[in-house]
Structure 1
Amino acid sequence: MKLFFLSCLLVSCCCLAGAVNREYYIGIIETVWNYAPGNTNIVSGQLFAEEEQAGIFLKRGSHRIGSAYKKAVYTQYTNQLYDVIVDKPSWLGFLGPIIKGEVGDSIIIHLKNFASRSYTLHPHGVRYTKENEGAFYPDNTKDLQKRDDAVEPGGQYTYTWNVTEDQGPAKGDADCITRVYHSHIDAPRDVASGLVGPLIICRKDTMNKDSDRHFDAEFILMFSVMDENLSWYLEDNIRTYCSEPSKVDKDDEDFQESNKMHSINGYMYGYLPNLTMCVEDKVKWHLFGMGNEADIHSAYFHGQTLIERHHRVDTISLFPATFIDAVMIPRSPGEWLLSCQVNDHIEGGMQALFKVKDCRKSTTDHNESTKIRQYFIAAEEVIWNYGPSAVNHFTGRELITDSESHIFFEQSETRIGGSYKKAIYKEYTDGSFTEHKKRLAEEAHLGLLGPVIKAEVGDSIRVTFRNNASRPFSIQPHGVSYHKSDEGALYGAASRGTESPASHVSPGATFTYEWNVPEDVGPTDQDPDCLTWLYYSAVDAVRDTSSGLVGPLLVCRKGALLPSGKQKNVNMEFFLLATVFDENLSWYLDDNILMFTLNPNKIDKDDEDFQESNKMHSINGYMYGNQPGLEMCKGSVVSWHLMGLGSEVDIHGIYFSENTFVTKGTRRDTANLFPHTFLTAVMKPDSEGVFEVSCLTTDHYTGGMKQNYKVKQCHWWNVDLSMYLHEKTYYIAAVEVEWDYSPNRTWEFERHQYHEESPGNPFLNKDNKFIGSKYRKVVYREYTDQTFSTPKPRGEEQQHLEIQGPLLMSNIGDKIIVVFKNLASRPYSIHAHGVKTDSSVVAVTNPGETKMYVWKIPERSSSDRGDPHCIAWAYHSTVDIIKDTYSGLIGTLVVCHKHYLPSFHTKKKVQFALLFMVFDENESWYLDENIQTYSSNPHLVDKEDEEFLESNKMHAINGKVFGNLHGLTMHVGDEVSWYLMGMGNEVDIHTAHFHGHSFDYKVTGVYRADVFDLFPGTFQTVEMTPQNPGTWLLHCHVTDHIHAGMEATYMVLPKE
């Protein structure tokens, strides 16, 4: 079965030496779009009228718009008359037509605007000149070069883009890669109005009849919470669809929530049509995300696995402007669910069904397996204590009195405390379910996780499941193969028939699941020996997992496990589940209120403080250092199997202090996890002591998602013989300064002239109770010598660092000595990620004191086989890791391979270090001082006021907003390394997008992109050789962050 892209067949070709001009006639039209054109939830089989959750978004009313909205969409026409529309695949939804090109081609877009306001068309992943960019911002252009910036109603414009080698697929990429195009006058609002479409860029000679010649089917899906509150047509939609339009309050939170449409290509609750394929087809999926902070998506394909960037997956993480392509060869026929596994998004209807048909007589069932691995697992109700020692091991205080932890552990009239009734998976010795299988000492760390299920390629897994709980549960696995009759989730056509026993095991009942581990779900040649997955109960995926039903699953290469079940090449293995267990969503909330609160009648379940007290920021169900059993020997090989679960807040940067690990061929000390994503990380600890494993997302760190792991000297011969012969000394001080995030607002006002008022006003205007753009901060600054009398002036190449400390450079084998003087008014320190130190405790330097910090750079601080030559780490103060960082103490340390010295070839090497972070000044040590100094009426300030809190969140790149970051200057042909860094909180998902150029990044292979995803604890080197002179936009692609000023420009000058 071939699915040709009809939308491309009408491209006129002028062939010149193999290069093709691909012409498209595209109109922008206004139309009505229905996100769920029916009255039934196709996934659950229930009527929308009976589903409270779906009604929030779909029900029309006096103050509700419902499921249909006026939108603007890109539409393809056959020619310049714009009278005949070209058909497109029905599954594209409201996305624009598929635009495709091969390296060497030119793409010519004839755009005509039939809409009622100005729009443009701006592409990702092709080369364009200034007059073909289609993006409006202050870029030092005028006249003809500005005409592309806005196509007025009734107007026309022709854009010409070139598909160049440096924008096409890199060595590690597939033949065809995913990119997008969208309108870019006010990109967030234009996209929310509907103006976005797919752009597919291929290697030369790999397209066949306009589809990728190696595939039987191709699909393109956009996962996005379409925020209709941001649409230019909100007023129109209120007038048309609300029966009392004059009484609608656009600022009402419930009204706003009702307009956030959790959709795939504009369809919700299973309405996305015609995702059909055959068993054994080679299917290409192009996936991308768009939108805001809520747009963290875990796209989970039930019943199948895919290959994405040479790794085996069944869930793909997407963020605003993340572009992914993956390949699936479906083996199991049936109707399968494709769902975003983020809890809020499951409830919001971000789900579709794809059908795998048995078109040929299927090949024999590939289950010639020899070994059956048998497990006996029961769901049981227990009382689980998140802090069994009653102590916060990081402060030494009792959990109920400690300032950080008492919110979660206090038990009172209206608080549950730290113990909850939960349901967990427990292992038994046999099918009589009479004797629990005892956990070994090395399994003590598992906490509330179910037993570890392990299998090798070629095995079968047989799980006999007994439900000893009081409500129906199931077991649904990631990463293995199974028939529909063994699936632990119910949906689609099946939900309209009788309940299958696998997806709904009643209390007291037993069901035996059969799963297979064929070669095509096993690790790829670039994967570790064992892939980390999880299994969970999916009768109601949100409430069952919030209640505690989740466990780890390992799928290993053939021969990777010993007869005991341990991994061959590993000394210790640990399984960590990072999640904010939301007990408000547990089936047992009412039981817990009755059992543990002192006055159950007083409880208001909708009270925000009550809800917050039930959000347990835990690792394996433990908080504040209460997790037992994380002990290992120095020099041993430790395999960490990391798993994520939960909701939009579950953006985790799991940081292992004082050691590094390798994952996917790259060296890290922080692993980013999201709901239903998994990671295998291999570590060889080389320092003795007690270290921290914690989440760097600030609210999670404060909320208790931190534990201790212990490294012991088990063998006398395991000593470090590394020589650190090369010493480098830096003189660095902590200095208090007045910092201005926005010294000049000219760029901002020009950028946002289409707004009634600049979106920067809430952050930068002082009015009578806000602070404005200036704050007292503390920064790291370099000095010439130990007298600390002369600050070292910053050269032109360091000008862009702004708030960051000096850029520190080192090689393997270096010993870095930081002589640190604290010239500030409170205690601080300096400590780097990734380095080796002699003590697990970072010394505190009091005001006025000078101390020496020694960082060794062993092999394990440097790049691994899959990394670039130089990798970046952050350094910061650790006295109070959160407040110190928000107050301004952060910088970049770069570690290079020994032999990576600037060579004598003609290309000039240039480097830039960029920190993408929302500086939350409410968390700064200097907040009170800033209110007194900079607010016009300090006595009017209410520090708890929402508007005041928001006004102090500075969405900055290196501490500057709205184009105020300068010094990013390079020449055509330079070799540019960008060291990108993300830090911060739950809002700190940053998708850093470069206009005008793509860059290369390494994760074992070399890949190309023009957007890179950053989270708290992400440090990434990307490399670019600019070819395109001009002033180009560099910004975070997250909607709110664009409006809040996380934008800068970089300048490419003609070749020197």
Structure 2
Amino acid sequence: MKILWLSIFLFLHSNSAWAKEKHYYIGIIETTWDYASDNEKKLISVDTEHPDIYLQNGPNRIGRVYKKALYLQYTDKTFTTVIEKPIWLGFLGPIIKAETGDKVYVHLKNFASRPYTFHPHGITYYKEHEGAIYPDNTTDFYKADDKVYTGEQYTYILDASEDQSPGEEDSNCVTRIYHSHIDAPKDIASGLIGPLIICKKDSLDNEKEKNIDQEFVVMFSVVDENLSWYLDDNIKTYCSEPEKVDKDDEDFQESNRMYSVNGYAFGSLPGLSMCAEDKVRWYLFGMGNEVDVHAAFFHGQVLTNKNYRIDTVNLFPATLFEAFMVAQNPGEWMLSCQNLNHLKAGLQAFFQVQDCNKPSSEDDIRGKHVRHYYIAAEEIIWNYAPSGIDIFTKKNLRAPGSASEVFFEQGSTRIGGSYKKLVYREYTDASFTNQKKRGPEEEHLGLLGPVIWAEVGDTIRVTFHNRGAYPLSIEPTGVRVSKNNEGTYYTSVHNPLSGSVPSPSASHVAPKQTFTYEWSVPEEVGPTYKDPVCLSKMYYSAVDPTKDIFTGLIGPMKICKKGSLHANGRLKDVDKEFYLFPTVFDENESLLLDENIRMFTTAPHLVNKEDEDFQESNKMHSMNGFMYGNQPGLNMCKGDSVMWYLFSAGNEADVHGIYFTGNTYLSRGERRDTANLFPQASVTLLMQPDAEGTFEVECLTTDHYTGGMKQKYTVNKCKQESDDPSFYLAERTYYIAAVEMEWDYSPSREWERELHLLQEQNVSNAFLDKEEFYIGSKYKKVAYRQYTDSTFRVPVERKAEEEHLGILGPQLHADVGDIVKIIFKNMATRPYSIHAHGVKTESSTVTPTLPGESHTYIWKIPDRSGPGIEDSACIPWAYYSTVDQVKDLYSGLIGPLIVCRRHYTKVFNPITKLEFSLLFFVFDENESWYIDDNIKTYSEHPEKVNKDNEEFIESNKMHAINGRMFGNLQGLTMHVGDEVNWYLMGMGNEIDLHSVHFHGHSFRYQHRGIYSSDVFDIFPGTYQTLEMFPRTPGIWLLHCHVTDHIHAGMETTYTVLPNEETKSG
């Protein structure tokens, strides 16, 4: 017995010794912040708009200095001595670090003039330590954390528990954040945000990660000072004529959006310095609004994330990301956001790589095998739709009233569908006399430059000849580039390093001049063991990246493992390779805009380049420069092994969901049919088409789809084989109807009113109030509803666990090997259908079902419809109507289909497996079939409605989770100890980027390994399984972290009840 007690004592003692207590004394102070101090360096670049827009104060401009509230760290509870933080942290709060098992005490004292809090991400806390205010049924003691008033203190107690620790495949330390959460968007815009680093047990040594030389934290954000609590103070202090300020003026508002890294704009962030060969850990996160679509590009460097090779990190509001880099190439390099709008507005920083005489891991990086390309930039006339026809509708692109007319109308002040452009073209040798003819397999490349390909160990040599009238260059991604071969020109006002500015000849190849670039492909930049055989990359002209790219100067690259390519560059063991570049080509930004106006409009003197309709007509929603199905060459055989290389560039409008109808693909071991792309993102997909026919490859972003970003690909039967080798063992039948109904986005305003009461704000609601002529919260909609049998007389009553579905159709289930039979009845007043992602069908055409009629749809579930080898056991797909893909969706027709591995069981005694499907979606009721009905029925003054009025349009964009707003989504209830699958779905438009954040708990997700977070990003066409094991009882907030979406009501709560056994015992 003594031995037993001794063992218990030693166990407890060892655990308590390991679990450290850490105390942080954090004060909130009000101070001034300079976004671009005169003492710091400034960016000099061709592509930067005049900084005075953002940095110069005046009669009605604040300038670069703002009053802010910031977190500072102090030495002890007296809060008298500030601990200096690294200068590169900027206005971010101090770094708070914990290892798994640690208990963290944050002693917060508020020296500011208004209440604030401390709310952490990705660490365990009880309700009284959450630091977030919202209606959660807590009172008294449990509310003390919700507001720390001026002069008061509060101690937040946080546990770095095992269930919120980094996942198995995560880095040793992962990025988390903390911020104030009374009105989170306003608190954060005021300055209250900082980094929280959570590490695996025993990964730190003296507060530094072992085997890491340097670590840096960077936040990419368009800090919106218009949302700051101190806006009025800043106007009074810094505007010389504050009484003349109009806070609603768009130019004034834009001047207060500070495109910054850690609060520094235009390259002025100090202190990012390291030695060549240093092992560097980068902790990155985004924060902000719909404009915060970031592409953090590390010039001259290559990084790894989750053991995948990257050089660009896509960040969105509350995206949490870490990357590892071995610093190379001494010199001053740029860390820039490649969102082209952000580049112009100053969202860049510099980092210094010093030569500290460390032994190099890449002593001989120049490969002996040289691949030489001869590429010229030359002018062409490009037609975005050579047939003049919308291949999908068979109608003329200029047909009056058609969506395509906007872009293809040619006339007195419209350019039409043809533009003069500059493109890259390949030649046979340095004489640039014989252009290489493109074969049938390259026909699909269209506007793009030639494919530059290389294997690990190669050197790429590109002789570039500029036949344009402007200085141009070539800037690659994904290869090793020295300073004198860099295609981007930039420097700082005071640059301490000699030889670190790109050579003018490399970054500015003058007209009629030639320059030879040399890039290397060492092992350290090639595909990792987790990557596909070839990485999809790109090259483009970067003298003025915005103008150069939109003029047409961009092309694909592929970087492959050694020995994986044939001599002609084709990938071994692959039958077809295709390159797709979806982007909104903004011809308003082209170097040749004035020439195009002169050449193609009939009255060029009447053109107003600032006219919004003119600008819209020049935004060409295309793939490889083709629109509305005009792209040739996307042909393959059934059973082929097909590799797709996708990449994109652009700005915040370029949020793409590229959907391959009729087939699925594997990417990083996951089964998908939709790939999300953003500025300077790229992805490699492997498809094995198993159904013949003509299918669509389209962007699911609704404006892009309507605007022509859709093509056709054809799968031919090239050899005799059995029609379908899969075995289908079971059949599931569902009786589904399309039913019209009245839908209330906010049946109760109580949660919303209590929230504003707690925040001490009196806020009117443009979306839900029925003032003047607005519609309010109720709309006529159509939804999928389940019935008991083919008579469609008795609807299936939803159970408690299905209450959360809201507007969604029933949660359909299937296993691999099933056949799903949908008996669909259209009980609505217009034609609809039902079509699912991921499944196999007999025909590539989805048959519409007329009102009052029924139709049977058959969905087969072969292996390629189920989870990939690296997926969760069950994965979600969406089903919806495709008669008019956009209007049907916004009218309400969408639901989840959950596909599981064969023989997967959903209940493992004694643990309950719960399933919740969530659609984060801005229902744009302006696009609904029923908008006119809704105006007549619900507007108190329908005669006053102008459907083109911007405020009316905005009032009908319902920021909802499953069709509910402001805490109205019910039924998300679970117990401690349950296993919960959250099936997230994203659809919609450019604004539908959603950062789904769970308070109180983290989740696990699979991306060829198990990872952990409490925020997951979804976009149009994202379908993702998250696995949660709730441990902490309470009512917890679940919301989108995008600023406008929070204020618009994309919030609800989920409830974790005590374990039933514990409770009863």
Residue of structure 1 in register with 2:548 after alignment: 544
Alignment of 1:379 onto 2:377: yes
Residue of structure 2 in register with 1:414 after alignment: 413
Residue of structure 1 in register with 2:260 after alignment: 263
Q: Judging changes above 3 Å, is the alpha-carbon distance between structure 1 residues 897 and 51 closer, same or farther for their aligned structure 2 residues? A: closer
Large movers: runs of 4+ above 6 Å: 494-498
Q: 1:181 aligns with which of 178, 181, 187?
A: 178
Where structure 1 has 5 or more consecutive residues not aligned to the other structure, the ranges are: 1-12
Residue of structure 2 in register with 1:996 after alignment: 1000
Letter of the 2:378 counterpart: E
Point out the more displaced range, 492-501 or 930-939. Answer: 492-501
Residue of structure 2 in register with 1:219 after alignment: 216
Letter of the 1:775 counterpart: Y
Tell me, yes or no, if the aligned pair for 1:54 and 1:349 is still in contact at 8 Å: yes
Distance in structure 2 (CA, Å) of the matches to 1:398 and 1:41: 54
TM-score, L = length of structure 1: 0.97
Tell me, yes or no, if the aligned pair for 1:635 and 1:718 is still in contact at 8 Å: no
Residue of structure 2 in register with 1:429 after alignment: 428
State the identity %.
60
Distance in structure 1 (CA, Å) of the matches to 2:1030 and 2:502: 61
Tell me, yes or no, if the aligned pair for 1:760 and 1:1044 is still in contact at 8 Å: no
Q: Counterparts in 2 of 1:666-681, with a 5 A limit?
A: 666-681=670-685
Tell me, yes or no, if the aligned pair for 2:134 and 2:758 is still in contact at 8 Å: no
Tell me, yes or no, if the aligned pair for 2:484 and 2:502 is still in contact at 8 Å: no
Residue of structure 2 in register with 1:289 after alignment: 286
Letter of the 2:112 counterpart: A
Shift of 1:899: 2.5
Residue of structure 2 in register with 1:70 after alignment: 67
Shift of 1:17: 2.2
Tell me, yes or no, if the aligned pair for 1:999 and 1:1008 is still in contact at 8 Å: yes
**Matched position secondary structure for 2:616:** helix
Letter of the 2:395 counterpart: R
Tell me, yes or no, if the aligned pair for 2:40 and 2:270 is still in contact at 8 Å: no
Residue of structure 2 in register with 1:300 after alignment: 297
Distance in structure 1 (CA, Å) of the matches to 2:14 and 2:180: 28
Distance in structure 2 (CA, Å) of the matches to 1:921 and 1:65: 37
Tell me, yes or no, if the aligned pair for 2:972 and 2:1053 is still in contact at 8 Å: yes
Alignment of 1:978 onto 2:982: yes
Tell me, yes or no, if the aligned pair for 2:303 and 2:325 is still in contact at 8 Å: yes
Shift of 1:758: 5.2
Q: 2:90 aligns with which of 89, 93, 98?
A: 93
Alignment of 1:596 onto 2:595: no
Shift of 1:606: 0.8
Distance in structure 2 (CA, Å) of the matches to 1:958 and 1:197: 32
Distance in structure 1 (CA, Å) of the matches to 2:481 and 2:835: 49
Distance in structure 2 (CA, Å) of the matches to 1:507 and 1:949: 47
Point out the more displaced range, 596-605 or 849-858. Answer: 596-605
Q: 1:358 aligns with which of 351, 355, 358?
A: 355
Shift of 1:269: 0.8
Residue of structure 2 in register with 1:238 after alignment: 235
Distance in structure 2 (CA, Å) of the matches to 1:391 and 1:53: 42
Alignment of 1:44 onto 2:44: yes
**Matched position secondary structure for 2:937:** helix
Residue of structure 2 in register with 1:1039 after alignment: 1043
Tell me, yes or no, if the aligned pair for 2:366 and 2:521 is still in contact at 8 Å: no
Distance in structure 1 (CA, Å) of the matches to 2:85 and 2:494: 31
Residue of structure 2 in register with 1:1016 after alignment: 1020
Residue of structure 2 in register with 1:489 after alignment: 488
Once the two structures are superposed, residues 894-933 of structure 1 have per-residue CA deviations (whole angstroms, 9 ceiling, x without a partner) of 0000121135431111110000000000000000000000
Letter of the 1:194 counterpart: G
Q: Counterparts in 2 of 1:702-713, with a 5 A limit?
A: 702-713=706-717
Distance in structure 2 (CA, Å) of the matches to 1:166 and 1:14: 20
**Matched position secondary structure for 1:394:** coil
Residue of structure 2 in register with 1:505 after alignment: 509
Point out the more displaced range, 902-911 or 26-35. Answer: 902-911
Once the two structures are superposed, residues 1-58 of structure 1 have per-residue CA deviations (whole angstroms, 9 ceiling, x without a partner) of xxxxxxxxxxxx9993211110011100001001111299722169xxx975312111
Letter of the 2:1016 counterpart: F
Q: Judging changes above 3 Å, is the alpha-carbon distance between structure 1 residues 15 and 760 closer, same or farther for their aligned structure 2 residues? A: farther
Residue of structure 2 in register with 1:140 after alignment: 137
Tell me, yes or no, if the aligned pair for 1:748 and 1:758 is still in contact at 8 Å: no
Once the two structures are superposed, residues 196-226 of structure 1 have per-residue CA deviations (whole angstroms, 9 ceiling, x without a partner) of 0000000111111111112000000000000
Q: 1:580 aligns with which of 548, 572, 584?
A: 584
Distance in structure 2 (CA, Å) of the matches to 1:873 and 1:540: 41
Distance in structure 1 (CA, Å) of the matches to 2:615 and 2:449: 26
**Matched position secondary structure for 1:53:** coil
**Matched position secondary structure for 1:882:** helix
Distance in structure 1 (CA, Å) of the matches to 2:1040 and 2:426: 46
Tell me, yes or no, if the aligned pair for 2:71 and 2:94 is still in contact at 8 Å: yes
Alignment of 1:35 onto 2:10: no
Distance in structure 1 (CA, Å) of the matches to 2:430 and 2:450: 16
Distance in structure 2 (CA, Å) of the matches to 1:742 and 1:764: 8
Residue of structure 2 in register with 1:5 after alignment: none
Letter of the 1:125 counterpart: G
Residue of structure 2 in register with 1:4 after alignment: none
Distance in structure 1 (CA, Å) of the matches to 2:521 and 2:503: 26
Once the two structures are superposed, residues 382-435 of structure 1 have per-residue CA deviations (whole angstroms, 9 ceiling, x without a partner) of 111111110011111111116010100001111111111111000001110001
Letter of the 1:1053 counterpart: L
Shift of 1:723: 2.3
Alignment of 1:762 onto 2:766: yes
Alignment of 1:248 onto 2:252: no
TM-score, L = length of structure 2: 0.96
**Matched position secondary structure for 1:56:** helix
Distance in structure 1 (CA, Å) of the matches to 2:336 and 2:28: 30
Residue of structure 1 in register with 2:389 after alignment: 391
Residue of structure 1 in register with 2:798 after alignment: 794
Letter of the 2:852 counterpart: G
Distance in structure 2 (CA, Å) of the matches to 1:169 and 1:456: 34
Shift of 1:127: 0.5
Tell me, yes or no, if the aligned pair for 2:366 and 2:459 is still in contact at 8 Å: no
Tell me, yes or no, if the aligned pair for 1:106 and 1:160 is still in contact at 8 Å: yes
Tell me, yes or no, if the aligned pair for 2:484 and 2:503 is still in contact at 8 Å: no
**Matched position secondary structure for 1:407:** helix
Distance in structure 1 (CA, Å) of the matches to 2:182 and 2:654: 32
Paired residues, what number? 1041
**Matched position secondary structure for 1:752:** helix
**Matched position secondary structure for 1:235:** helix
Shift of 1:157: 0.6
Letter of the 2:53 counterpart: I
Letter of the 2:567 counterpart: P
Shift of 1:753: 2.2
Q: Judging changes above 3 Å, is the alpha-carbon distance between structure 1 residues 760 and 784 closer, same or farther for their aligned structure 2 residues? A: farther
Where structure 2 has 5 or more consecutive residues not aligned to the other structure, the ranges are: 1-12, 496-500, 1061-1065
Alignment of 1:314 onto 2:308: no
Q: Judging changes above 3 Å, is the alpha-carbon distance between structure 1 residues 485 and 739 closer, same or farther for their aligned structure 2 residues? A: same
Distance in structure 1 (CA, Å) of the matches to 2:493 and 2:367: 29
Q: Judging changes above 3 Å, is the alpha-carbon distance between structure 1 residues 449 and 494 closer, same or farther for their aligned structure 2 residues? A: farther
Q: Judging changes above 3 Å, is the alpha-carbon distance between structure 1 residues 99 and 495 closer, same or farther for their aligned structure 2 residues? A: closer
Letter of the 1:345 counterpart: H
Q: Counterparts in 2 of 1:457-496, with a 5 A limit?
A: 457-493=456-492
Letter of the 1:814 counterpart: D
Distance in structure 2 (CA, Å) of the matches to 1:321 and 1:455: 36
Residue of structure 2 in register with 1:19 after alignment: 19
Q: 1:808 aligns with which of 796, 809, 812?
A: 812
**Matched position secondary structure for 2:44:** coil
Residue of structure 2 in register with 1:845 after alignment: 849
Tell me, yes or no, if the aligned pair for 1:14 and 1:21 is still in contact at 8 Å: no
Q: 1:867 aligns with which of 857, 866, 871?
A: 871
